[in-house]
């Protein structure tokens, strides 16, 4: 018969108490698996994430679930990029019924200290956006979701909508000197993603970044660090902008 020794000075039970002997390894394993199931998240296009960011995402997901229990929670944007060069949190809350996003945003900002943007929409609107808007496709090419994302989306190009989106990127031409590196990067990203979308090419942050570097012969890090000069850059930028605009205009005129 095996003997089990316990310290003479012990707390929690006394001589004569009945106790249950159970292997601690199996007990801990069960708790860890239970915790894993509760906090399971789905990542798309995210190769690695710092532990502190993962903890923040888990806390945010739990907070939103307690407040509203929506159909899905999607976190996207620069927060999921490696490093800590982010300005805010971008969150999509998917639900049929309206949710008090202002209250949730306030609680998230109090919890994390990070400025938060929340977009609330239903699943139908999300799928429609993915089919016609390259910005939705880019957002969901790198994201985290509470529940699995399973979408089969057919691309339907809305040229009038793309015309409005492209107009944002004209800001870089008129305000090159006063824009920050990150602002320039966003406007370039917007323009090139629209061009690739019209050309029916695949879209992801990595694909668009590679195309930017190929077109402008400059690294993304240099753009974001605001190291590009107007003289060397703006002429090529105008060329790509006009090319994209003419493609949109051509299709708008033909009624597509």
* Domains of the chain as residue ranges with CATH: 42-145 (3.30.460.10), 159-253 (no CATH)
pLDDT at residue 244 tops 90: yes
- Residue-wise pLDDT for 99-156, tens only, equals 999 999 999 999 999 999 999 999 888 888 888 889 888 888 889 999 988 767 778 8
The mean pLDDT of the chain is 84
Binned at pLDDT 50, 70 and 90, residue 34 comes out as very low
CA angle 142, 146, 152 (to 5 degrees): 60
Joined tokens for residue 5: 């020794």
Q: Give the residue with greater pLDDT, 210 vs 148.
A: 210
**Do β-strands 72-76 and 89-94 pair in parallel, antiparallel, or remain unpaired?**
antiparallel
pLDDT at residue 228 tops 50: yes
């Amino acid at each position: 018969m095996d003997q089990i020794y316990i310290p003479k000075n012990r707390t929690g039970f006394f001589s004569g108490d009945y106790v249950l002997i159970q292997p601690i390894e199996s007990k801990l394993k069960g708790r860890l698996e239970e915790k894993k199931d509760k906090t399971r998240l789905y990542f798309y296009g995210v190769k690695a994430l710092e532990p502190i960011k993962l903890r923040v995402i888990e806390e945010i997901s739990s907070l939103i679930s307690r407040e509203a229990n929506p159909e899905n929670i999607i976190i996207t944007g620069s927060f999921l990029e490696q490093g800590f060069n982010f300005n805010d949190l971008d969150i999509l809350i998917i639900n049929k019924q309206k949710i008090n996003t202002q209250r949730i945003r306030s609680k998230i900002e109090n919890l994390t200290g990070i400025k938060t943007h929340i977009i609330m929409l239903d699943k139908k609107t999300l799928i429609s956006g993915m089919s016609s808007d390259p910005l939705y496709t880019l957002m969901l090419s790198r994201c985290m979701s509470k529940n699995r994302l399973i979408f089969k989306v057919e691309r339907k190009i809305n040229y009038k909508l793309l015309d409005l989106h492209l107009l944002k990127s004209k800001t870089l031409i008129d305000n090159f000197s006063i824009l920050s590196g990150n602002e320039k990067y966003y406007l370039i990203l917007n323009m090139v993603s629209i061009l690739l979308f019209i050309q029916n090419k695949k879209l992801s942050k990595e694909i668009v970044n590679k195309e930017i570097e190929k077109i402008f012969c400059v690294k993304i890090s240099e753009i974001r660090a605001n190291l590009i000069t107007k003289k060397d850059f703006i002429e090529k930028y105008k060329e790509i902008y006009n090319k994209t605009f003419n493609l949109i205009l051509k299709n708008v005129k033909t009624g597509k």
